[in-house]
Structure 1
Amino acid sequence: MKVLLVNGSARLKGCTYTALCEVAKTLEENGIETELFQLGAKPICGCIGCMSCRKTGECFMNDKVNEFAKMAKEADGFVFGSPVHYASASGALTSFLDRVFFSAGANLSYKPGASITSARRGGTTATFDQLNKYFTINNMPVVSSQYWNMVHGNTPEETLQDLEGMQVMRILGKNMAWLLKCIELGKQNGIGIPEREEKVATNFIR
């Protein structure tokens, strides 16, 4: 079993990375393989609604979205991490997730997802809420911890001093590992994903 952890910060080894590493370390200790996916500092364009992905199965923009989508198909779980920018996820991660879930949401469906947020001070809960909405519109179990998944600090060193936040990251890793093992045990005993209904779309303005 494998979990992909996405660093939505332009800083490769900043506070978000520090928190993700704590989750990854705990997952590894519990027998789950991990891989860190760095968005990096290159611009990621937002979705333009061209619908070409509906025909080709991938986004026409040749960047990290398609790279991740292919990896996601083979992954069993996901953790998306973001710094807080104006009480929201980073612009790069938001654009990335919009396009990933629109063009390749099926590669993530029914697989556990978790989000973590990093801030100097405020905006974490709003960002946490934003990120979790991607999971709950895509049939993904949401993995929780003993508190909202957030860390505080202005530097990686300060983040490590947030003892409660780092503990939350470890508990999150344990809970993710536990859920993945439960799902795998269910598969071995003939329990598959729920039967899907044909989607009903209701327009509020006619």
Structure 2
Amino acid sequence: MKVIAINGSPKPRGNTYYALKTVCDVLNQENIQTEIITVGNMDIKGCMACGRCADGHCIFSDENFKELVEKVYEADALLLGSPVYYAGIAGTMKSFLDRLFFASRGRMRHKVGASVAIPRRSGGMNTFDQLNNYFLISEMLIAPSYYWNVIHGGAPREVLEDAEGMSVLHNLAQNITWMLKIKEYSKTSHPAPKPYPRAWTNFIR
């Protein structure tokens, strides 16, 4: 089993990285492979709404972007981490997620998903909600913890001093592990249901 963690911060070793690493370290102890990939410092433009997604990829993707997307598709779970900018997802991170999920066309269905928001002080819940919306519309299984996955820090590594936040992330990692193992053990006895045929309507007639 493998988990891909997406670091939405432009700082490869900032607080977002350390929050993700906290979760990944626990997963590694359970023999679950992890990889942290930083997208926040990449040059990623937003979705153009052209509707020309091909084979699960944005038509404007270069080889590096395609390779990253394939890693996500092949993973059993996706962990998202974003710093909080103006009470929302960091811009480059959102551009990446818009293009990834819009082009995915069912490839994310029933993967396990979890998200972490990293504010200095406020705006964490807004960002946390925004991240989870990608999971919900893609029929992913959201791993919970006993509190919302928001951990605070300003200077690099400061999140490690947020004791409650750290405990939330450790508990989150345990739940991700449990959900992945349940999926693995039950894939034969309880296969995933096929999607119900979808109806498309617009609000404007």
TM-score bracket for the superposition, by shorter chain length = over 0.9
Taking the aligned partners of 1:194 and 1:175, their CA distance within structure 2 comes to 22
2:85 alignment partner AA: H
Indicate if the aligned counterparts of 1:87 and 1:127 stay in contact, CA closer than 8 A.
Answer: yes
Tell me the CA shift for residue 105 of structure 1.
Answer: 4.3
> What does residue 198 of structure 2 align with?
199
Gaps of 5+ in 1: none
Map Cα deviations across residues 89-124 of structure 1 (whole Å, 9 max, x no partner).
100111110100011242221101011010110000
Taking the aligned partners of 2:126 and 2:169, their CA distance within structure 1 comes to 18
After superposition, the Cα gap between the structure-2 partners of 1:40 and 1:84, relative to the gap in structure 1 and judged at 3 Å, is closer
Taking the aligned partners of 1:157 and 1:50, their CA distance within structure 2 comes to 40
Tell me the CA shift for residue 40 of structure 1.
Answer: 4.1
1:29 alignment partner AA: Q
3-state SS of the aligned residue for 1:122? coil
Q: 5 Å matches for 1:44-83?
A: 44-53=44-53, 55-63=54-62, 65-83=65-83
Indicate if the aligned counterparts of 1:4 and 1:35 stay in contact, CA closer than 8 A.
Answer: yes
Taking the aligned partners of 1:57 and 1:70, their CA distance within structure 2 comes to 9
Given the two structures, how large is their TM-score scaled by the length of structure 2? 0.95
Given the two structures, how large is their TM-score scaled by the length of structure 1? 0.94
1:172 alignment partner AA: L
Q: 5 Å matches for 1:48-127?
A: 48-53=48-53, 55-63=54-62, 65-127=65-127
| Segments of 4+ moved more than 6 angstroms | none
Taking the aligned partners of 2:141 and 2:55, their CA distance within structure 1 comes to 28
Taking the aligned partners of 2:69 and 2:177, their CA distance within structure 1 comes to 22
> What does residue 130 of structure 1 align with?
130
> What does residue 30 of structure 1 align with?
30
Indicate if the aligned counterparts of 2:40 and 2:93 stay in contact, CA closer than 8 A.
Answer: no
3-state SS of the aligned residue for 1:115? strand
Aligned residue-pair number: 204
1:156 alignment partner AA: P
> What does residue 144 of structure 1 align with?
144
Is 1:190 aligned with 2:189? yes
After superposition, the Cα gap between the structure-2 partners of 1:2 and 1:90, relative to the gap in structure 1 and judged at 3 Å, is same
Q: CA RMSD in A?
A: 1.3
- Answer 1 or 2: which has greater helix percent: 1
1:202 alignment partner AA: T
Gaps of 5+ in 2: none
> What does residue 3 of structure 2 align with?
3
Map Cα deviations across residues 112-152 of structure 1 (whole Å, 9 max, x no partner).
10110101100000000000000000110111111100110
Tell me the CA shift for residue 60 of structure 1.
Answer: 2.0
Map Cα deviations across residues 5-43 of structure 1 (whole Å, 9 max, x no partner).
000000000000010000000111122111111114132
> What does residue 171 of structure 1 align with?
171
2:46 alignment partner AA: G
Indicate if the aligned counterparts of 1:72 and 1:107 stay in contact, CA closer than 8 A.
Answer: no
